[in-house]
Amino acid sequence: MDLGIKNKYALVTGGTHGIGKAIALSLADEGCNVAVCSRTFPRIRETQEQLKAKGVDCLAIQADVMIKEDINRVFNMVIEKWGTLHILVNNVGGGGRWGKEDIEATDEKVWQEVYEKNVMSSIRFVKLVIPYMRKQKWGRIVNITSIYGREAGGRPWFNIAKTAQTVLMKNLSLKKDLVRNGITFNSIAPGGIMIPDTGWEVEQKKDPVAFRAMLNEKFPLGRLGKPEEVASVVAFICSEKASLVNGASIPVDGSEGRSF
């Protein structure tokens, strides 16, 4: 199926590792020109090379989305290079393992930082991109949330932040002046996805037997997801073909989540 997004311009925040990188590569496979931003230089350079190898134009920017000035700088660089943006994927997020199990032992700063990383960064990029999408009468905005953006569970600061990201997309999907100008707003809610060098891998290495038992117990498929399994759904939602999908929160979790 031709997704109809060849030559569009896309920005994937945190597109240099894990789910974000898989999304960036998957959009490039569809012929999109892709910008990514993240903090660590070797990852940025490696992703830039991989995007270039797919024959698309790309931009790889070192930036920290916790810093408002960095967000503005990333966006300005994209606009300077391409003049507009068609697809925004707010992928940077996390904090599900930050703080302590015990809410009383967890500093208030954790709540604020998790909110800032997931929610404020999304809001800031959305505000910057909307005028361009409205003008060109076409846009796709996707927040990468979590099953805990759809139901109660996990650590509360993460649950709140991911839910807020989902609400942001649903709320904007109701704004007639935006959606009647060809912009859609959706959330993709991954379940546990195995990413090298992150929390799941640490847990697996610590106690492989307990980890396997946990997978068997909690995950209907008996396994974690792969970043590419999330990326292919995101690419479809960002496509011309998904024009009626607006305000959706789509689980990509092998039915790990319990919500309908």
Ligand X SMILES: NC(=O)c1ccc[n+]([C@@H]2O[C@H](COP(=O)([O-])OP(=O)(O)OC[C@H]3O[C@@H](n4cnc5c(N)ncnc54)[C@H](OP(=O)(O)O)[C@@H]3O)[C@@H](O)[C@H]2O)c1
The residue ranges that bind ligand X (CB under 6 A) are 14, 16-20, 37-40, 43, 63-66, 91-94, 117, 144, 146, 190, 192-193, 195, 198
Compare residues 3 and 65 and give the one whose CB is closer to ligand X.
65
- Closest approach, Cβ 176 to ligand X, in A, equals 29
Compare residues 13 and 239 and give the one whose CB is closer to ligand X.
13
Residue type, 104: E
Compare residues 49 and 240 and give the one whose CB is closer to ligand X.
49
Compare residues 51 and 138 and give the one whose CB is closer to ligand X.
51
Which among 139, 118, 144 is positioned nearest to 22, based on CA atoms? 144
- Closest approach, Cβ 114 to ligand X, in A, equals 10
Half-sphere exposure of 89 (CA within 13 A, CB side): 35
Q: Are 171 and 217 in contact (CB under 8 A)?
A: no
Could you tell me the sign of the dihedral formed by the alpha carbons of 224, 42, 111, 169, in that order?
A: negative
- Closest approach, Cβ 240 to ligand X, in A, equals 25
Residues 6+ apart with CB under 8 A from 55: none
Compare residues 39 and 134 and give the one whose CB is closer to ligand X.
39
- Radius of gyration in angstroms for the set of CA atoms belonging to the chain, rounded to a whole number: 18
- Closest approach, Cβ 105 to ligand X, in A, equals 22
Compare residues 124 and 138 and give the one whose CB is closer to ligand X.
124
What secondary structure, in 3-state letters, does 199-258 show? HHHHHHHHCHHHHHHHHHHHCCCCCCECHHHHHHHHHHHCCHHHCCCCCCEEEECCCCCC
- Closest approach, Cβ 44 to ligand X, in A, equals 7
- Closest approach, Cβ 93 to ligand X, in A, equals 2
- 160-165 CB contacts, 8 Å cutoff, 24+ apart: 160/111, 160/114, 160/115, 161/93, 161/95, 161/114, 161/115, 161/117, 161/118, 161/119, 162/93, 162/118, 162/189, 164/115, 164/118, 164/119, 165/90, 165/93, 165/118, 165/119, 165/122
- Closest approach, Cβ 85 to ligand X, in A, equals 17
Compare residues 117 and 140 and give the one whose CB is closer to ligand X.
117
